[in-house]
Amino acid sequence: MQFLLAFIVVGPLVGAVAALLPAPPGLKGKSPGQAVLRHGVTVTGAILLAAIVLALGFDRDHPSKMQATTDIKWIPTLNVRIHLGIDGISLPLLVLTALLTFLCALYSYFKMPSGPSPKAFVALLLVLESGTFATFAVLDLLLFFLAFEMVLIPMYFLIARWGGDQRQAAAWKFILYTLLGSVVMLLGLLLIGLKTGTFDMVALASDNGRGMTTSVQVIAVLAIGIGLAVKTPMWPLHSWLPDAHTAAPTVGSVLLAGVLLKMGTYGFVRIVLPIAPDGMHRFAPYLAAFAVAGIIYGSLACLALAKRGNKGDLKRLIAYSSVGHMGFVLLGIASMTPTGVNGALFANIAHGLITGLLFFLVGALKDRYGTADLDTLSGATGAALYGRAPRLGGLLAFAAVASLGLPGLAGFWGEMLSMFGAFDPADGLSRPAFLTFVAIAAVGTLLTAAYLLVVVRRVCMGTPSAQPQEPRLVDVQGYEVASWSPLVALTVLAGLWPAVLLGLTDPAVHKLLAGGKS
């Protein structure tokens, strides 16, 4: 177990270096480009297999205990250690990262985005995977910061070099926003380490803030929270996200929505809640207020983009929907209750599965039509996907109803539990204020259903055009079935059997909120 976790974190880095080397004789295939893309599939597949074995070997009877741990001295003068470990909170995110990266590598093997050398593309994809794994596995604050920053450069280049229109501006906006937020976050992390004498996250969680005064905790939560809120993204620090998603290649959007956004909310749960509970208690109502503002803002922005004549980009619409969905995650965290935090963690995974599938589908639509513009897609009578490409239309409708929180699918449980947690928040938090937040969030669920159903009606329904110039539309192909089927299956599985996730997260969440006591 210890070796497996270290292999999962470091393996993609070794694979990234190997991707830049010439392909060995006999493995070149039809071209060097095909060989390196096959290398990406092989490496990410091996990492996914290791993650599955790690999950199967995980002690589900004690999910609150850190398992597969490695603890090695690194910088003794600063008391910084290479400390790795997983519990019921980080394991699902680790497996989700491995799955989505493998599916992106598989999809790219058949549909490589236009741009420079495939070698650089595969290497950046693997570095991004390694940094994400490290973020979810490290148990030292400074290592967490380094891993948190490690993913920025590869994502910047994936957008800037393999993206679409306005990719340079979108990439710069992404890197500037996240770097500025991270600088502030580093100051908060250093403040905690200097005041407590340790950067070890397990020891700090067990101390539960007793080594810091309330004023220090407030300053630390404010600084760390800004950096995490930018990455989440929380309204009004979200404006980099729609541009980044619109310009990014399909696999870049899948990883950005499915994995990178989770790093911010994971930081709130792993660092802010257990390490500075008094500071979090002071900011919880404000966090909840920003969360529900994001829910309403994201939904209204999506409704505006979905309206006929507004030239709304479908990728941009799904990006704004992420602002709303992550608002539910933040609302659950702000409740500071086991129910709310469990709902937030469940919503994290559900959003990664469903929105990852949505970006795959929109990328496929854009490849077929040459655009993601809703007015162009819908035309006079609708793109009529049900008639022209029934499997593609059915999958888009499935992903849309999953995203709006249909009971029986994964999106339902996270939003419901987050609102349940906010309905009865932690002691000391204003219940009338949180009841107001729940009411606003409930309105957001109705708006979410409205814009997603408008999208389905405009894109999937209608009468196929009989015009001879109408291009032939290819339905779902074999490699797309292979890339999308796991996301569909897991969305249904998590919706019908939520205990698969909640059984892992619930004991770990109770332990975190109880100050390290099971």
410 or 382, which is more confident?
A: 410
- pLDDT, tens only, 8-17: 999 999 999 9
For the residues 90-95, what does the mean pLDDT come to? 94
The residues, ordered by sequence, that sit 6+ positions from 36 with a Cβ below 8 Å of its Cβ are 19, 23, 118, 119, 122
Radius of gyration of the chain (CA): 22
pLDDT digits (tens, 9 = 90+) for 205-232: 888 878 888 899 999 999 999 999 998 8
**What's the whole-model pTM score?**
0.91
Query: Which of helix, strand or coil describes residue 408?
Result: coil
Output the CA–CA distances (angstroms, integers) from residue 269 to 113, 119, 224, 367, 377, in the order listed: 35, 36, 12, 38, 40
Amino acid in the structure at residue 233: P
For 244-302, what is each residue's pLDDT tens digit?
A: 888 889 899 999 988 998 999 999 999 999 999 999 999 999 999 999 999 999 999 99
Q: What confidence tier does 91 reach under pLDDT thresholds 50, 70, 90?
A: very high
Q: Compute the mean pLDDT over every residue in the chain, rounded to the nearest whole number.
A: 88
- Reported as a single tens digit per residue, the pLDDT across 349-363 is 999 999 999 999 998
**What is the C-alpha separation between 518 and 66, in angstroms, rounded?**
12
Inform me whether the pLDDT recorded for 25 exceeds 70: no
CA 212 to each of CA 204, 218, 219, 400: distance values in angstroms, whole numbers, following the listed order? 10, 10, 11, 46
Please write down the HEC assignment for all residues of 279-294: HHHHHHHHHHHHHHHH
Confidence bin at 190 (pLDDT 50/70/90): very high
Rounded Cα–Cα distance for residues 510 and 426 (Å): 13
Residue 464, pLDDT score: 61
User: Which pLDDT band holds residue 306 (cuts at 50, 70, 90)?
Assistant: confident
For residue 462, pLDDT over 80 is answered with: no
Q: What is the mean pLDDT of residues 56-76?
A: 86
Mean pLDDT of 11-39: 78
Confidence of residue 398 (pLDDT cuts 50, 70, 90): very high
